[in-house]
DNA sequence: TCTACTTTTGGAATCGATTCCAAATTGGAG
DNA sequence: CTCCAATTTGGAATCGATTCCAAAAGTAGA
């Protein structure tokens, strides 16, 4: 049994396709009686309007797509929840796809916006260079979250990464940290901004760059352990480590503990994100809370504005406030 | 500047729309010279075929959708990686959407299959009742992963949850566990199967149902802690706890440790999934490894068969082998 | 009952890419 | 140079839902 079409419904209901379509779209210009006939026919034939035909005619899909490197980042999944809720309340369906950091995969997904498979795009962690994001944003509905390209058409929602890193580093210093270390990721813009904040806080406390340690790598648990192992070879040892994510911080704490040292007494550790990992860690992690859900909501609102008012290319970033969450992994 | 169409490209290249389309679809029946002209025109106009028009005519989208309650389950994100890789190598784009356990949201997403927005559907954790999944599977391309409805048209990919639970429970018994407890989730089919396996292992070891403890709840860290707190009120205390996920197990270990007891000496704890949490926990968790990536790959292959050979409604489940991973949270 | 409305309806045109068929062109053999 | 076959091309028809316009039906007032 092939799929039923408006034609079939019209025939079964004994009305014209126009009337069927009007019923489908809740046009008020339909008599009660034909509305009933059409509704009955739709049920009888188990009819669903074909998305591609509708999209073609209407020139929009009411779908948006979010792109992220991977799905298991707690910040991303929380932000995406915000996107989804905001989208739903505006009648949009929101989908997400991981790029795995593969430029080809990313390109293929971005093409979904170019070819009209979706109306808008939310980018969490672009792999493509800033210029490309920029160029795309010129003509298409794109909003960035967390990672915002530093360019002309920069636009999107995030926290102030530099300030957040500054705040938490200052906390480390205020609680006695002098020999500071950071585990960061220079591949990401946010990572570079956090490094800036870290260095600025150190500098303001009169700690020279040479007294400072820096290790670089991806933000996963095992990398955290490995990089910490490197840091622990330093002499003198660091007494405070700022990590770019809670997961890395968990690895850091683990490695310190395994080395027979105590957190925070010997070495204080700070994370970033306030994910559940921060609470799972022993001791629980001092960290930076990102308002991920709200960032997602706001990102969708921004996107909606771009999609519906085509001329509007509201520029600029929106920064949401972060929060320093102090727990037991740093002294007090 | 509006979007260019095949018509525009044809005019610019000085050929007919048919020829343009043939170039787009790499038909061999095009002369070298017109291919060049068309390619040049496409580049000049920055032309992209409109997805909805193509989909309408071709009656397929080369897109699939995966549904899950939430995105941050490590098993789901790993399985989805498998889906994505398999899909990509067959020319499909795979998208994912969280339902948040909301039936309305789920319905809306399932409608994307019904209305032809996507060609196939992979369900990780359905909220709808088994009958509905079953009915849907009768006519549409749907494959289940991890959670498989227990019904006529049952089909999908998972591990043998009962056997896995049996195996790990037997391990708990073999390492001295007598007073067994389980933290499970009866809301999910897999949860019920795991409970069966747990009980079967206990029974075979001559442990009566009354000697056994059971706590029920969602699979997150805080629930794990709360339920463990309940279990620790029992007298005598349990000496081995099987948890339905590593995250719950981490909460369980934490609560036990905070109560001044030792894992595994006083109470052994086992997890499930072999996610990174299992290694982050101290002590590291004995757990069951699920071949999530392969489950995802296989699920897509199954789906592909259903999508391309419409008559084929291959029934049945595919079980992939699990693996007992023994670490320090259980005695040896 | 007739006029002047408003409400409701039918159906053709439309969106843009693909595909099929017939026509045009090319190439090679004789 | 002719003829037949193979290659290439143009363009109309098609996919299914929406929308616009004109026509039909309904309603109210006089």
Question: What would the pLDDT profile of B163-217 be if each residue is shown by its tens digit?
Answer: 999 999 999 999 999 999 999 999 999 999 999 999 999 999 999 999 999 999 9
Q: Which residue has the higher pLDDT, A136 or A93?
A: A93
The answer as to whether B65 is a domain residue is yes
The Cα–Cα gap between B162 and B242 comes to 13
Give the other-Cβ count within 10 Å of A309's Cβ.
Answer: 10
Q: What percent of chain A has pLDDT over 90?
A: 84
Average pLDDT of the segment spanning A290-315: 86
**Same domain, residue pair B277 and B167:** yes
List the beta bridge partners of residue B157. Answer: B145, B318
Give domain status of residue A181, yes or no: yes
**DSSP assigned state of A169:** H
Together in a domain, A183 and A141: no
From the list B48, B72, B115, the residue facing A50 with the nearest CB is B115
Residues B298 and B187 in one domain: no
A261 assigned to some structural domain = yes
A304 with A257, same domain: the answer is no
B72/A70 CB distance under 8 A: no
Find the angle CA(A215)-CA(A221)-CA(A223) to the nearest 5 degrees.
35
Judge if A205 and A275 occupy the same domain. Answer: yes
Q: What is chain A's length? A: 332
Structure tokens at B261: 């007891």
Cα–Cα distances in angstroms (integers) from residue B202 to residues B115, B162, B174, in the given order? 48, 13, 11
pLDDT of residue B150: 75
Q: A108–B114: do the CB atoms touch at under 8 Å?
A: no
Query: Where residue A29 falls among pLDDT bands split at 50, 70, 90?
Result: confident
Beta-carbon contacts of A117 under 8 Å, excluding residues fewer than 6 positions away, are A61, A63, A65, A111, B51, B52, B63
B109 reaches A (C-beta below 8 A): yes
CA A178 to chain centre: 33
Show the tokens assigned to B54.
Answer: 């193509």
Does position A60 have pLDDT exceeding 80, yes or no? yes
B245-275: pLDDT as tens digits: 999 999 999 999 999 999 999 999 999 999 9
Res B332: pLDDT: 77
How buried is residue A157: exposed, middle or buried, by Cβ count under 10 Å (0-12/13-18/19+)? buried
Q: What is the CATH number of the domain that holds B39?
A: 1.10.260.40
Q: Is residue A82 part of a domain?
A: yes
Q: Nearest by CB to B50, which of A81, A93, A115?
A: A115
Residue A285 lies in a domain: yes
Closest Cβ–Cβ partner in B72, B76, B105 for A88: B105
Residue B195, both tokens:
């409970």
Total count of domains within chain A: 3
CATH of the domain at B306: 3.40.50.2300
What distance in Å separates the CA atoms of residue B3 and residue B301, rounded to the nearest whole number?
36
CA atoms within 13 Å, Cβ hemisphere of B209: 5
Q: Examine the domain organization and report whether B262 and B301 are in the same domain.
A: no
- The length of chain B is 332
pLDDT at B135: 85
Same structural domain for residues B81 and B135? yes
Distance B16 CA to D12 C1' (A): 12
Q: What is the pLDDT of residue A122?
A: 96
Distance B306 CA to D6 C1' (A): 39
Q: Is residue A55 part of a domain?
A: no
And the tokens for B188? 């999910």
* DSSP state string for B246-296: HHHHHHHHHHHHHTT--TTTT-EEE-SB--HHHHHSSSPPBEEE--HHHHH
Regarding whether B135 and B179 lie in a shared domain, the answer is: no
A56-70, A304-318, B107-121, B176-190: least confident range: A304-318
What are the mean pLDDT values of chain B's consecutive 10-residue runs (332 residues total)?
90 95 91 93 96 97 96 92 96 96 95 97 92 86 89 82 98 96 94 97 96 94 97 95 97 97 96 96 97 97 88 75 97 81
* pLDDT confidence tier of residue A44, bands split at 50, 70 and 90: very high
What is the distance between the alpha carbons of residues A88 and A136, in angstroms, rounded to a whole number?
25
Angle of helix A17-24 relative to helix A32-45, nearest 10 degrees, comes to: 90
What does the block give as tokens for A272? Answer: 């970033």
Band (A331; pLDDT cuts 50, 70, 90): confident
Phi, psi of B50 (to 5 degrees): -75, 125
Residue A253 and residue A147 share a domain: no
B82 contacts chain A (CB < 8 A): no
Q: Are A233 and A256 in contact (CB under 8 A)?
A: no
Q: Are residues B284 and B209 in the same domain?
A: yes
Q: For residue B173, what are the CA distances in angstroms to A133, A160, A196? A: 57, 52, 54
Q: What is the rounded average pLDDT of the residues A280-287?
A: 97
Statement: the CB of A58 is under 7 Å from strand D: yes
Assigned domain for A332 exists: no
Q: What is the pLDDT of residue B72?
A: 85
Residues 6+ apart with CB under 8 A from A31: none
Gap between the Cα atoms of B15 and A51, Å rounded = 31
Lookup: nucleotide whose C1' is closest to B37 CA: D9
What radius of gyration do chain A's Cα atoms show? Answer: 26
How high is the mean pLDDT of chain A? 94
pLDDT given at position A312:
58
Peptide bond between residue B179 and the one before it cis (omega within 30 degrees of 0): no
User: Rounded to an integer, what distance in angstroms lies between the CA atom of residue B7 and that of residue B205?
Assistant: 76
Contact A84 B71 (CB under 8 A): no
pLDDT > 70? residue A178: yes
Q: Looking at the structure, do residues B217 and B305 belong to the same domain, yes or no?
A: no
A56 CA → D25 C1’, Å: 33
Instruction: Tell me the C-alpha distance between A263 and A285, whole Å.
Output: 10
Phi, psi at residue A301, to the nearest 5°? -60, -45
Burial class (CB in 10 A: 0-12, 13-18, 19+), A314: exposed
What's the pLDDT score for residue A152?
65
Domain extent, residue B39, equals 6-49
B151 and B300 assigned to the same domain: yes
Please report residues of B whose CB lies closer than 8 A to that of A96.
71, 95-98
Name every residue whose Cβ is closer than 8 Å to that of residue B126 and which is 6 or more positions away in sequence.
Answer: B67, B106, B133, B144, B147, B149
- By CB atoms closer than 10 A (0-12, 13-18, 19+), residue B289 is middle
């Amino acid at each position: 049994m092939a799929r039923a079409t408006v034609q079939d419904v019209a025939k079964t209901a004994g009305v014209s396709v126009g009337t069927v379509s009007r019923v489908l779209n809740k046009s008020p210009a339909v008599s009660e009686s034909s509305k009933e006939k059409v509704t009955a026919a739709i049920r009888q034939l188990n009819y669903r309007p074909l998305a591609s035909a509708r999209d073609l005619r209407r020139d929009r899909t009411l779908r948006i797509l979010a792109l992220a490197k991977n799905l298991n980042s707690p910040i991303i999944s929380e932000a995406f929840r915000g996107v989804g809720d905001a989208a739903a309340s505006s009648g949009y369906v929101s989908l997400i796809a991981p790029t795995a950091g593969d430029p080809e995969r990313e390109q293929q997904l971005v093409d979904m916006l170019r070819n009209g498979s979706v109306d808008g795009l939310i980018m969490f962690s672009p792999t493509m260079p800033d210029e490309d994001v920029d160029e795309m944003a010129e003509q298409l509905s794109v909003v960035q979250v967390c990672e915002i390209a530093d360019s002309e058409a920069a636009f999107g929602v995030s926290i102030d990464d530099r300030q957040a890193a500054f705040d938490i580093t200052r906390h480390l210093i205020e609680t006695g940290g002098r020999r500071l270390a950071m585990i960061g990721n220079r591949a990401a813009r946010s990572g570079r901004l956090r490094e800036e904040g870290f260095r600025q806080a150190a500098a303001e406390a009169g700690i020279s760059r040479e007294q400072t340690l820096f290790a670089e790598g991806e933000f996963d648990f095992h990398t955290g352990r490995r990089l910490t192992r490197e840091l622990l070879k330093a002499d003198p040892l660091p007494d405070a480590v700022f990590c770019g994510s809670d997961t890395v911080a968990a690895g850091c704490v683990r490695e310190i503990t395994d080395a027979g040292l105590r957190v925070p007494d010997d070495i204080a550790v700070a994370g970033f994100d306030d994910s559940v990992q921060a609470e799972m860690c022993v001791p629980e992690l001092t960290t930076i809370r990102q308002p991920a859900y709200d960032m997602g909501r706001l990102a969708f609102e921004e996107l909606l504005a771009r999609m519906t008012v085509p001329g509007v290319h509201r520029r600029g970033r929106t920064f949401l406030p972060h929060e320093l969450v102090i727990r037991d992994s740093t002294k007090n």
